[in-house]
């Protein structure tokens, strides 16, 4: 009884410590605002999300595909927040922190139930919970999908462990529900059935040889089918998301993927100079880098499989890491970044398991299988549950290891807290990213966009020009520079840069809207072209995926320029409803004045 009570007390204390660590690092985020990277277009500017929970909006969450943002449960969670908390970013951040904290606790409990190594599991959960690479996944509101899918992934593992003790249909269905929910939170979980197969090998010991796992593979066919369906739906949105200019060559993507595997390992060991965006090298990678990566990855893979009988956790941890990264390693192009911190959210667990169990077993001896003291029975011998130590090591070595790994956790926690602080506002985030990366055109362009919105137009022009110096073919930077020049009243140069943006990427929607506005409303007769303005604005309206107040305002102005005043009024009225929902009274007033002009059959004219 005492042993059980002691064990429960240790588990409760560990859970409390994990929660305290998570809050120490991420609790500061409840004071942070939204940022100007993906949060607007995927969260607070989406009418179906910011209008709260309705049947129409929930239906939209599941049916607005093809879309790169097809994460139904994430979108529904944001609807819930808007319904009860409005556009309060603190509530969104708090939800992310709570979801992550629950994932950390579940990881600890599930691993402990599978392995019965309490301190090893505590260390793995701690590193997962507080590593500086977690900052992006937890603090970035749009990355709710990481925290949400992570929670459902942990639940899937827990119910699967329960299922393996007595396989029944009801338990299988119970396990399939959180797995399906995880897929609907983030498609990256398509690899989860393979992780379950790895767990069958170790620590569940349902199969002793990978070559004899066919019955267990067949057992998971329904899960693989679910993964295939979600992968198909997601792929339909990824393919059209990139313009021709943004598409990277296949060989270049493969080379970058190989190198990224090593980059993520290095960032796990030495997590410094972390940014929100790491640009893909403009001239590609040196040929030697992917070659070295192949040699290292192949050599380590051969080694861990060679040791699989004595150390079965080695191939499990290594394959966990390799396999879970496959959907986002870059061979399938998701974006223009070379790699991203958020992609390590679940894959890094495999590395933690591999290292933790390796260190723990390294300190064991074959003839030391007995428990040596009451302290060991209570699990207090060391952080890594290495109670079965040789006599010469005994408790002193255990406590030394505890201090060592406690220091590692403390170092990661302090570093992570500092990393989280860089997300306190968009300007700090982009300035930090520019400082810790090289030739980051994307960060310069994003900072230019932010500065322009804050009225710091000259600074915005400087950063747009720097982005174009680094990457002349960047349509986003061309658009930002054009818009900044328009703000300064240099309309002709603004149009030239907006045209360049569309020449680079004909589907650049921001450039289409900005150019359409000039063509529809310019006070210079020679600059106006109503027919083309309508064409550009309608194209964005049809492709945007959801109505947007600025796009509709531009469409209304274009309709008015060609004399379609009734349609202009209808578009402007729809824009007013969206502007009211998003809390933009200035835009509402502007649209109401425009409608007054349209009713008098007058198109509008604008200056800078």
Burial bucket for residue 482 (CB in 10 Å: 0-12, 13-18, 19+): buried
Kindly indicate the confidence band of residue 41, based on its pLDDT and cuts at 50, 70 and 90.
confident
As a whole number of angstroms, the distance between CA 547 and CA 566 comes to 19
Max alpha carbon distance in the chain (Å)?
95
3-class SS of residue 283: coil
Q: Are the C-beta atoms of residues 79 and 53 closer than 8 Å to each other?
A: yes
Structure tokens at 189: 């979980």
pLDDT digits (tens, 9 = 90+) for 328-340: 999 887 778 999 9
pLDDT at 375: 39
pLDDT at 496: 95
Q: Are the C-beta atoms of residues 342 and 37 closer than 8 Å to each other?
A: no
**Reported pTM:** 0.90
Kindly indicate the confidence band of residue 187, based on its pLDDT and cuts at 50, 70 and 90.
very high
Burial 514-553 (b: 16+ CB within 10 A, else e): bbbbbbbbbeeeeebbbeebbebbbbbbeeebbbbbbbbb
pLDDT at 67: 64
Q: Which domains does the chain have, with CATH numbers?
A: 2-421 (no CATH), 528-608 (1.25.40)
Least Cα distance to 536 among 40, 521, 68, 46 occurs for 521
Q: What is the separation of C-alpha 167 from the centre of its chain, rounded to a whole number of angstroms? A: 34
Three-class HEC string of 37-91 = CCHHHHHHCCHHHHCCCCHHHHHHHHHCCCCCCCCHHHHHHHHHHHHHHCCCHHH
pLDDT at 210: 77
∠ CA 250-266-238 to the nearest 5 degrees? 35
- 595: part of which helix (H) or strand (E)? helix 585-599
Q: Are the C-beta atoms of residues 591 and 575 closer than 8 Å to each other?
A: yes
pLDDT at 294: 98
3-class SS of residue 562: coil
The residue count of the chain comes to 608
More confident residue, 174 or 65: 174
pLDDT digits (tens, 9 = 90+) for 492-519: 999 999 999 999 989 899 999 999 999 9
Provide, rounded to the nearest whole percent, the portion of the chain with pLDDT above 90: 75
pLDDT at 389 over 60: no
Q: Are the C-beta atoms of residues 191 and 323 closer than 8 Å to each other?
A: yes
As a whole number of angstroms, the distance between CA 100 and CA 107 comes to 11
């Amino acid at each position: 009884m005492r042993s059980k009570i002691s064990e429960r007390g240790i588990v409760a204390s560990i859970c409390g410590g994990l929660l305290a660590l998570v809050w120490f690092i991420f609790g500061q985020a409840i004071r942070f605002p939204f940022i100007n990277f993906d949060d607007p277009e995927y969260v607070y500017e989406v009418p179906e999300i910011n209008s709260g929970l309705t049947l129409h909006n929930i239906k939209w969450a599941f049916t607005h595909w093809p879309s790169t943002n097809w994460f139904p449960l994430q979108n529904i969670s944001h609807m819930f927040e808007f319904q009860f908390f409005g556009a309060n970013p603190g509530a969104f951040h708090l939800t992310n922190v709570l979801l992550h904290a629950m994932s950390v606790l579940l990881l600890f409990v599930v691993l402990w139930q599978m392995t019965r190594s309490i301190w090893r599991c505590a260390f793995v959960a701690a590193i997962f919970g507080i590593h500086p690479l977690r900052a992006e996944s937890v603090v970035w509101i749009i990355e709710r999908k990481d925290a949400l899918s992570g929670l459902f992934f942990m639940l899937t593992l827990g119910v699967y462990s329960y299922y393996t003790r007595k396989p029944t249909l009801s338990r299988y269905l119970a396990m399939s529900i959180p797995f399906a929910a995880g897929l609907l939170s983030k498609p990256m979980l398509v690899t989860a059935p393979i992780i379950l197969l790895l767990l069958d090998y170790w620590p569940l010991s349902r199969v002793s040889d990978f070559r004899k796992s066919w019955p267990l593979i067949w057992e998971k066919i329904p899960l693989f089918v679910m993964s295939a369906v979600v992968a198909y739906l997601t792929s339909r949105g990824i393919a059209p998301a990139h313009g021709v200019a943004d598409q990277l060559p296949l060989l270049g993507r493969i080379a970058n993927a190989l190198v990224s595997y090593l980059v993520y390992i290095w960032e796990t060991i030495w997590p410094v100079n972390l940014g929100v965006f790491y640009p893909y090298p403009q001239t590609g990678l040196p040929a030697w880098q992917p070659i070295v990566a192949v040699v290292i990855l192949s050599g380590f893979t051969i080694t861990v499989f060679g040791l699989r009988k004595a150390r079965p956790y080695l191939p499990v941890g290594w394959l966990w890491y390799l396999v879970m990264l496959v959907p986002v390693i870059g061979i399938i192009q998701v974006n223009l970044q070379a790699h991203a911190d958020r992609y390590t959210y679940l894959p890094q667990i495999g590395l933690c398991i591999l290292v933790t169990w390796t260190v723990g077993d390294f300190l064991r001896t074959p003839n030391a299988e007995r428990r040596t003291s009451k302290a060991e029975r209570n699990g207090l011998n060391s952080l890594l549950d290495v109670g079965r130590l040789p006599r010469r090591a005994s408790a002193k070595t255990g406590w030394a290891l505890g201090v060592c790994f406690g220091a590692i956790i403390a170092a990661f926690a302090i570093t992570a807290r500092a990393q989280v602080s860089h997300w306190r506002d968009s300007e700090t985030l982009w300035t930090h990213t520019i400082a810790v990366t090289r030739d980051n055109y994307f960060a310069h362009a994003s900072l230019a966009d932010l500065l322009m919105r804050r009225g710091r137009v000259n600074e915005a022009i400087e950063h747009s020009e720097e982005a174009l110096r680094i990457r002349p073919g960047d349509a986003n930077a061309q658009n930002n520079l054009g818009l900044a020049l328009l703000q300064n009243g240099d309309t002709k140069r603004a149009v030239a840069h907006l045209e360049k943006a569309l020449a680079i990427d004909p589907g650049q929607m921001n450039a289409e809207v900005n150019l359409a506005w000039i063509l529809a409303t310019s006070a210079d007769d020679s600059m106006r072209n109503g027919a083309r303005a309508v064409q550009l604005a309608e194209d964005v309206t049809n492709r945007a995926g959801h109505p947007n107040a600025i796009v509709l305002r531009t469409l209304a102005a274009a309709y008015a320029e060609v004399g379609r005043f009734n349609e202009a009024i209808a578009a402007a009225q729809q824009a007013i409803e969206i502007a009211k929902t998003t809390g933009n009274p200035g835009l509402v007033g502007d649209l109401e004045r425009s409608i007054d002009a349209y009713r008098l059959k007058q198109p509008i004219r604008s200056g800078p």
